[in-house]
Amino acid sequence: MKVMNVSVLAAAALTTIAALGTANAADMSMPPPVYKAPAPPTTYSWTGCYIGGGGGYGWWTQDSLVQSGGLALTAQDTNGGSGWFGQGQGGCDYQFTAPIFNVPAVIGLFGDYAGGDIDGRSSFPGVVGSERESGTWSVGGRAGVLITPRFLTYFDGGWTQARFDGVNYNIAISGPLTPSGISLAAQTYNGWFIGSGFEYALDWLPIHGLFLKTEYRYSQFDAANVPITGTAAGGLVVPAGITLNSKPFTEMVSTELVWRFNWQ
Say if 138 falls within a structural domain: yes
Residue 238's Cβ-side half-sphere holds a number of Cα atoms within 13 Å equal to 19
Residue 34 scores a pLDDT above 70: no
| Within-domain flag for 69 | yes
CA distances from 214 to 89, 193, 253, 255 (A): 13, 16, 7, 4
Looking at the domain assignment, is residue 195 inside a domain? yes
Mean pLDDT of the region 7-16: 45
pTM of the model: 0.80
Return the DSSP state at 74: S
Evaluate whether residue 39 is within a structural domain.
no
For residue 36, is it within any domain?
A: no
User: Dihedral through CA 24, CA 26, CA 29, CA 31, nearest 10?
Assistant: -90
The predicted pLDDT at position 2 comes to 43
Kindly report, residue by residue over 208-261, the tens digit of the pLDDT.
899 999 999 999 999 999 999 988 665 667 888 899 999 999 999 999 999 999
Residues present in the chain in total: 264
Please check the confidence at residue 167 and state whether its pLDDT lies above 60. Answer: yes
pLDDT computed for residue 231 by the predictor: 80
Specify the number of domains making up the chain. 2
41 occurs within a structural domain: no
Q: Which amino acid is at 231?
A: T
Residue 145 pLDDT > 60: yes
In this structure, the answer to whether residues 209 and 240 fall within a common structural domain is yes
Are residues 129 and 12 part of one domain?
no
Q: How far is CA 219 from CA 3, 58, 212, in A?
A: 111, 11, 23
User: 94 and 175 in one domain?
Assistant: yes
State yes or no: pLDDT of 23 exceeds 60.
no
Q: Which of 83, 78, 74 is nearest to 114 (CA)?
A: 83
* 3 and 100 part of one domain: no
Give per-residue pLDDT as tens, 79-124: 999 999 999 999 999 999 998 888 999 999 999 999 998 999 999 8
pLDDT digits (tens, 9 = 90+) for 171-220: 887 667 788 889 999 999 999 999 999 999 998 888 889 999 999 999 99
Residue 136 pLDDT? 97
User: CA-to-CA distance for 183 and 167, rounded, in angstroms?
Assistant: 5
- Domain containing residue 16: 1-31
The pLDDT value recorded for residue 36 is 65
130 shares a domain with 63: yes
Contact 194, 217 (CB under 8 A): yes
pLDDT greater at residue 119 or residue 17: 119
Given pLDDT bands bounded at 50, 70 and 90, which one contains residue 41?
Answer: low
CB 249 within 8 A of CB 220: yes
pLDDT, position 19: 47
pLDDT above 80 (res 156): yes
φ/ψ of residue 147, rounded to 5: -70, -40
Q: Are residues 103 and 153 in the same domain?
A: yes
Query: For the segment 59-85, what is each residue's pLDDT rounded down to a tens digit?
Result: 999 999 999 988 999 999 999 999 999
Phi, psi of 207 (to 5 degrees): -90, 125
Residue 4 confidence class, pLDDT cut points 50, 70, 90: very low
Q: Is residue 37 part of a domain?
A: no
Strands (E) in the chain, as ranges, are 48-68, 71-72, 77-97, 104-124, 127-148, 151-164, 167-171, 179-184, 187-201, 210-221, 224-232, 236-237, 242-260
What is the spatial distance between Cα 29 and Cα 22, in angstroms, rounded to a whole number? Answer: 11
Alpha carbon 117 to chain centroid distance?
20
What's phi and psi for 219, nearest 5 deg? -130, 140
Domain containing 118 — which CATH number? Answer: 2.40.160
